[in-house]
C-alpha cells in the first residue's frame, strides 16, 4: 500500500507531457493495486521481459539503434513496476556514450512512447539537440512519438514516422485526485497542519480551491510554453507557430503529420538504418576517391 501511495503522490505531484489516456490507464493500475487487485504473475513477468528486450541498444552496420520505449521519467524506479517505462537519465548516458563512440557512424532513436514526466525531458532533448552535427541523429516514431517522446524526437536532425505511426500530443497535464467523498464514506477526516498558506493546497483530501486550481493551471501553462518553444527551436519555427499548427495536444497519423511539418518523411526503422549505413559508405568512398586524386596530382 505504501508503494502505491508513493506512486500516486508522484503522479499527482508533478507535470506530465503524456497522452491523457495513458495517464488514465496508469491511475487505474495504481488504484487497482492499492485495492489489492493484481494481474497474473506469469503474465507480468512476460511483459517485463518483452519490455527489457525492446529497451536494449544495438549497433547495426555501424548505426546505433537506441530504444525510447514506454512511459518516460527522470528516475523510473518508482514507476517501472507500473508501466515498464524508461529512464531519461539512462537514455542520456547511453546517448552520450554513442556520440563519443568512434565506431558508431549514426544514431537512430527507436521511439514507441506515449510520453511521460516533465522532469528530465527538457534536459534530454537539449542534450540531443546540442549533439547535432557530431554524427547523423534520426528519430523514428515506431510507431508512437507522443508528448515527451515527440519533444525528445524533435531534437534529432530528422524525425521519421512509420506509415501506420502517430506523432504529436504537444501539451502538458496535471492530475488532482479529490478523495474527500471517499474519506467521508469510510469515516476518515484528515487534518493538515501547515506553515505557509499554500503548503497543502493540492492535497487529495479536499477539493481544489479556485486559487489552487489557478496555480496548477499556471504551472501547466508555463511547462507547455517551454514545450512549444523547444519544438519550435528543433523544427525551425516560432513557438507561436507550433502552438497554432501542431495540434495543441492532438496526435496525427503519418501523412497528416508530414503535411503539418511535424515529421520529415514517412519510413521504417529498418529503412533508416539502411539509409544511414549506405550514406556512410558513400561518404567513405568519396573521401577515398578524393584522396586518390590528390595523390595523383602530387606525382
Evaluate the omega torsion of the peptide bond into residue 143 and state whether it is cis, within 30 degrees of 0.
Answer: yes
Res 197: pLDDT: 94
Q: Specify if 183 maps to a domain.
A: no
Q: Which of 149, 151, 165 is nearest to 226 (CA)?
A: 151
Asked, for residue 105, whether it belongs to a domain, the answer is yes
Residue 63 binned pLDDT confidence (cut-offs 50, 70, 90): very high
Average pLDDT, the chain: 87
Give pLDDT, residue 89: 95
**Domain assignment of residue 102, yes or no:** yes
Specify the CATH number for the domain of residue 52.
3.90.226.10
The two beta strands, 63-69 and 58-60, are antiparallel
Residue 259 lies in a domain: yes
Report whether pLDDT(77) > 80: no
Residue numbers of the domain that contains 46: 2-172+240-287
Which residues pair with residue 266 across a beta bridge? 161
Q: How many domains does the chain have?
A: 1
Task: Report how far residue 150's alpha carbon sits from residue 148's, in angstroms, rounded to the nearest whole number.
Answer: 5
* Res. 288 pLDDT band, cuts 50 70 90: very low
Residue 41 pLDDT greater than 80, yes or no: no
Strand, coil or helix: 59: strand
* 123 band by pLDDT with thresholds 50, 70 and 90: very high
pLDDT of 56: 78
209 within a domain of the structure (yes/no): no
The neighbouring-strand residues paired with 243 are none
H helical segments located in the chain = 2-12, 20-34, 41-54, 80-83, 88-100, 121-130, 148-154, 180-186, 210-235, 239-245, 254-259, 269-298
Max CA-CA distance within the chain?
96
Residue 280 confidence (pLDDT): 74
Encode pLDDT of 222-279 as tens digits.
999 999 999 999 999 999 999 999 999 999 999 999 999 999 999 999 999 999 999 8
Alpha helix (H) residue ranges in 158-208: 180-186
Using a cut of 0.75, tell me whether the model's pTM lies above it: yes
Pick the more confident residue, 234 or 34: 234
Amino acid at each position: 500500500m505504501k508503494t502505491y501511495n508513493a506512486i500516486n503522490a508522484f503522479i499527482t505531484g508533478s507535470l506530465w507531457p503524456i497522452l491523457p489516456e495513458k495517464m488514465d490507464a496508469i491511475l487505474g493500475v495504481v488504484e487497482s493495486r492499492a485495492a489489492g487487485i493484481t494481474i497474473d504473475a506469469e503474465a507480468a513477468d512476460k511483459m517485463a521481459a518483452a519490455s527489457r528486450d525492446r529497451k536494449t541498444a544495438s549497433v547495426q552496420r555501424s548505426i546505433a539503434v537506441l530504444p525510447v520505449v514506454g512511459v518516460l521519467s527522470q528516475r523510473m524506479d518508482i514507476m517501472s513496476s507500473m508501466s515498464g517505462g524508461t529512464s531519461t537519465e539512462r537514455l542520456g548516458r547511453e546517448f552520450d556514450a554513442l556520440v563519443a563512440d568512434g565506431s558508431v557512424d549514426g544514431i537512430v532513436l527507436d521511439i514507441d512512447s506515449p510520453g511521460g514526466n516533465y522532469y528530465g525531458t527538457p534536459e534530454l532533448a537539449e542534450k540531443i539537440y546540442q549533439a547535432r552535427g557530431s554524427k547523423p541523429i534520426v528519430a523514428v516514431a515506431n510507431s508512437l512519438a507522443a508528448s515527451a517522446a515527440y519533444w525528445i524526437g524533435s531534437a534529432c536532425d530528422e524525425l521519421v514516422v512509420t506509415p501506420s505511426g502517430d506523432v504529436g500530443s504537444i501539451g502538458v497535464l496535471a492530475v488532482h485526485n479529490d478523495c474527500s467523498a471517499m474519506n467521508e464514506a469510510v469515516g476518515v477526516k484528515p487534518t493538515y497542519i501547515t506553515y505557509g498558506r499554500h503548503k497543502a493546497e493540492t492535497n487529495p483530501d479536499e477539493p481544489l480551491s479556485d486559487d489552487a486550481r489557478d496555480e496548477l493551471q499556471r504551472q501547466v501553462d508555463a511547462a507547455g510554453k517551454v514545450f512549444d518553444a523547444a519544438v519550435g527551436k528543433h523544427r525551425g519555427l516560432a513557438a507561436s507557430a507550433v502552438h497554432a499548427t501542431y495540434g495543441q495536444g492532438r496526435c496525427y497519423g503519418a501523412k497528416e503529420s508530414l503535411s503539418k511539418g511535424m515529421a520529415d518523411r514517412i519510413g521504417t526503422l529498418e529503412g533508416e538504418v539502411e539509409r544511414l549505413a549506405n550514406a556512410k559508405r558513400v561518404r567513405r568512398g568519396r573521401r577515398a576517391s578524393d584522396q586518390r586524386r590528390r595523390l595523383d596530382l602530387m606525382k
